[in-house]
Amino acid sequence: MSNFEYANAPESKTIAKISQSYDLFIGGKFVKPKKGKSFNTVNPATEEVLAKIAYADKLDIDLAVSSARSAYTKVWSKLPAKERGKYLYRIARILQERAREFAVVETLDNGKPIRESRDTDIPLATAHFFYHAGWADKLEFAGVGNNPKSLGVVGQIIPWNFPLLMLAWKIAPALATGNTVVLKPAETTPLTALLFAEVCQQAGLPDGVVNIITGDGITGAALVNHPDINKIAFTGSTEVGKAIARSISSTKKSATLELGGKAANIVFEDAAIDEAVEGIVNGIFFNQGHVCCAGSRLLLQENVMDEVLEKLKKRMSLIRVGDPMDKNTDLGAINSSEQLKRIKDLASAGDSEGANRWSPECKLPSKGYWFAPTIFTGVSQSHRIAREEIFGPVLSVLTFRTPIEAIEKANNTMYGLSAGIWSDKGSKILWAAKQLKAGVIWSNTFNKFDPASPFGGYKESGWGREGGRHGLAAYLESDAKVNK
Ligand code: NAI
Ligand code: MG
């Protein structure tokens, strides 16, 4: 099959108004960091500096937490629930109105294709606010008693793979349940969180209900260790998740941790193969594979392996890698040079442990951080590329002969965030879903998200759930507990 020729279809950068520098958002205003330190955020597709970002340290965090505390005690916890809901609706509507601007800023700062930020990240973030707006005055149905109480001030730390979407997953339930927040975006993707701070101002959200502090892991650790925080909500690496669990273990702080994954995407012999190939591609190449629930371990039933691999390679040859601002692009830039190095190191481990690497022919841009879509065949369970999260566009292919072997291999991991099942037989799908130790299981599809559906993992993939009723419960305590 020959490649289609596409005319360029670039989205316009002028839709986004990115300032040269950004301060911290504390108490409803942009304020300078006390020590005047800053760092740059770059466009990973071009290595151009996009903006200078304030670096928050301990003194700034003290200010942000005290502003969140006073907003909590004086305003937010006293507001009727219905009024909280109105603010969430207002935020959702503004995000919808400014969707194109948010999509452009997300793509410039993160490197993901504009098609994905436009069609996935921003609409899902908006949906999360709409969904939680509806919950604000119905919390007695959240499953934590008749009169559930908010926790207080929540510290929230998010990663760089879905910057605005992870912000929405954190802020929407926290506000709906009556908590106030101090949120730290990742150091490589702070811009949409800072744009969101403007949305809070535009919505007239009371000062201090949402505070955004920018910085790195040291800033994040200082937020975790602040004594006046009631709960930590974190999404990121398992290593940092464990460090957070250790540092709050002697405190009364509660935590939800959304960590890594190494999901099995299982294709049985009776699957619709063409659909499965689409699902495999979506499972690992969506968002450059920077996805905690990515289908990064493909388990193929041995008798369909040749057919699936042949079709998969053909399909991979059609993946368009390059300028994330081009609306035709399927695979954008790797988010940072550090992440590119991690991907390269793990892929080299695949080579040296004896797996076979394959990538379609594709020309990568000379500037920026890029990695071609890649599959490894001949992978065994002991290989690092079968055990460790690569967090890039790299798929490890393993095989199985019987359904029981598929389940054993799928569950043979320290993670358990998600899994995929491809089969024509409903009974087999239900049987397999029951055996799999994973929080989210997709059948005959992959990477589908809905704010009403809880998301979270088993084992080292984390603690707690986000989204749905379960996600609300993580921001509430029952009356009985409060009175103890
Ligand atoms: P990371 O876990 O270091 O960063 C995530 C967030 O945590 C960032 O905002 C960061 O500033 C903050 N942070 C870092 N150290 C902290 C600490 N000690 N205390 C509090 N906050 C801290 O992840 P990183 O280094 O960006 O990526 C490393 C690997 O982690 C990736 O290769 C990937 O495998 C995994 N990862 C998983 C994610 C997920 O969605 N589950 C998201 C990002 C990374
Ligand atoms: Mg950036």
pLDDT band for position 484 (cuts 50, 70, 90): very low
Residues 74 and 195 grouped into a single domain: yes
For residue 240, report the distance from its CA to the centre of ligand 1, in Å. 6
- Look at residue 110 and tell me if it is in a domain: yes
- Look at residue 169 and tell me if it is in a domain: yes
pLDDT band for position 479 (cuts 50, 70, 90): confident
Q: By alpha-carbon position, which residue is closest to atom 16 of ligand 1?
A: 217
- Residue 194 pLDDT: 98
Residues 199 and 140 grouped into a single domain: yes
Residues 384 and 251 grouped into a single domain: no
Helix residue ranges, H only, 268-383: 273-285, 305-316, 337-352
Mean pLDDT for 76-102 is 98
Task: Look up 362 and say whether it is catalytic.
Answer: no
- Look at residue 455 and tell me if it is in a domain: no
Residues 311 and 210 grouped into a single domain: no
Residues 248 and 279 grouped into a single domain: no
Looking at the CA of 369, name the nearest ligand. Answer: 2
CA–centroid distance for 377 within its chain:
27
Provide the mean pLDDT of the chain.
Answer: 97
pLDDT in tens, 227-263: 999 999 999 999 999 999 999 999 999 999 999 999 9
- Look at residue 94 and tell me if it is in a domain: yes
Q: Which residues of 185-203 are buried (b: 16+ CB within 10 A; e: fewer)?
A: bbbbbbbbbbbbbebbeeb
Mean pLDDT for 419-444 is 98
Beta carbons within 8 Å of 229's beta carbon, 6+ residues apart: 65, 153, 154, 155, 182, 223, 253
Mean pLDDT for 132-144 is 96
The CATH number of the domain holding residue 201 is 3.40.605.10
Substitution candidate for ligand 1 out of 39, 212, 237 with most atoms within 8 A of CB = 237
**H or E, element range at 407:** helix 403-411
For residue 448, report the distance from its CA to the centre of ligand 1, in Å. 23
Q: Is the CB of 394 under 6 A from ligand 1?
A: no
Q: Is the CB of 391 under 6 A from ligand 1?
A: yes
End-to-end CA distance of the chain: 69
Looking at the CA of 110, name the nearest ligand. Answer: 2
pLDDT in tens, 155-183: 999 999 999 999 999 999 999 999 999 99
What residue type is assigned to position 183 of the chain?
Answer: L
Residue 294 above 80 pLDDT?
yes
Residue 201 above 80 pLDDT?
yes
- Look at residue 6 and tell me if it is in a domain: no
Determine the Cα–Cα distance for residues 415 and 262; give it in Å rounded to an integer: 6
Q: By alpha-carbon position, which residue is closest to atom 24 of ligand 1?
A: 237
Percentage of the chain beyond pLDDT 70 is: 98
The CATH number of the domain holding residue 418 is 3.40.309.10
For residue 189, report the distance from its CA to the centre of ligand 2, in Å. 4
- Look at residue 125 and tell me if it is in a domain: yes
Catalytic residue among 116, 187, 258, 477, which? 258
Q: Name the β-bridge partners of 321.
A: 331
CA distance to 51, 295, 400, 411, 474, per residue, from 102 (Å): 16, 27, 43, 38, 28
Residue 456 above 80 pLDDT?
yes
Residues 427 and 472 grouped into a single domain: no
The number of distinct structural domains making up the chain is 2
3-state helix, strand, coil in the chain (%, to 5): 45, 20, 40
Domain holding 334, by residue range, is 264-448
Residues 345 and 429 grouped into a single domain: yes
- Look at residue 4 and tell me if it is in a domain: no
Task: Look up 292 and say whether it is catalytic.
Answer: yes
C-beta of residue 102 within 8 angstroms of C-beta of residue 322: no
C-beta of residue 420 within 8 angstroms of C-beta of residue 410: no
For residue 145, report the distance from its CA to the centre of ligand 1, in Å. 34
Q: Is the CB of 220 under 6 A from ligand 1?
A: yes
Residues 289 and 185 grouped into a single domain: no
CA–centroid distance for 464 within its chain:
15
Relative to the CA of 260, which ligand 1 atom is closest?
A: 41
Residues 284 and 410 grouped into a single domain: yes
Q: By alpha-carbon position, which residue is closest to atom 28 of ligand 1?
A: 237
Q: Is the CB of 248 under 6 A from ligand 1?
A: no
For residue 471, report the distance from its CA to the centre of ligand 2, in Å. 29
pLDDT band for position 482 (cuts 50, 70, 90): low
- Look at residue 284 and tell me if it is in a domain: yes
- Residue 483 pLDDT: 47
Q: Is the CB of 245 under 6 A from ligand 1?
A: no
Q: Is the CB of 187 under 6 A from ligand 1?
A: yes
pLDDT in tens, 327-360: 999 999 999 999 999 999 999 999 999 999 999 9
pLDDT in tens, 297-329: 999 999 999 999 999 999 999 999 999 999 999
Residue 468 above 50 pLDDT?
yes
Determine the Cα–Cα distance for residues 414 and 404; give it in Å rounded to an integer: 19
Q: Supply φ then ψ for residue 59, to 5 degrees.
A: -65, -40
- Residue 5 pLDDT: 79
31: its two tokens:
């304020």
pLDDT band for position 138 (cuts 50, 70, 90): very high
Closest by Cα among 325, 351, 346, 280 to 100: 325
Residues 246 and 282 grouped into a single domain: no
Pairing of strands 149-150, 476-477: antiparallel
Q: Is the CB of 400 under 6 A from ligand 1?
A: no
Residues 84 and 49 grouped into a single domain: yes
Q: Is the CB of 335 under 6 A from ligand 1?
A: no
Integer-rounded Cα radius of gyration of the chain: 22
Residue 97 above 70 pLDDT?
yes
Residues 160 and 213 grouped into a single domain: yes
pLDDT in tens, 75-88: 999 999 999 999 99
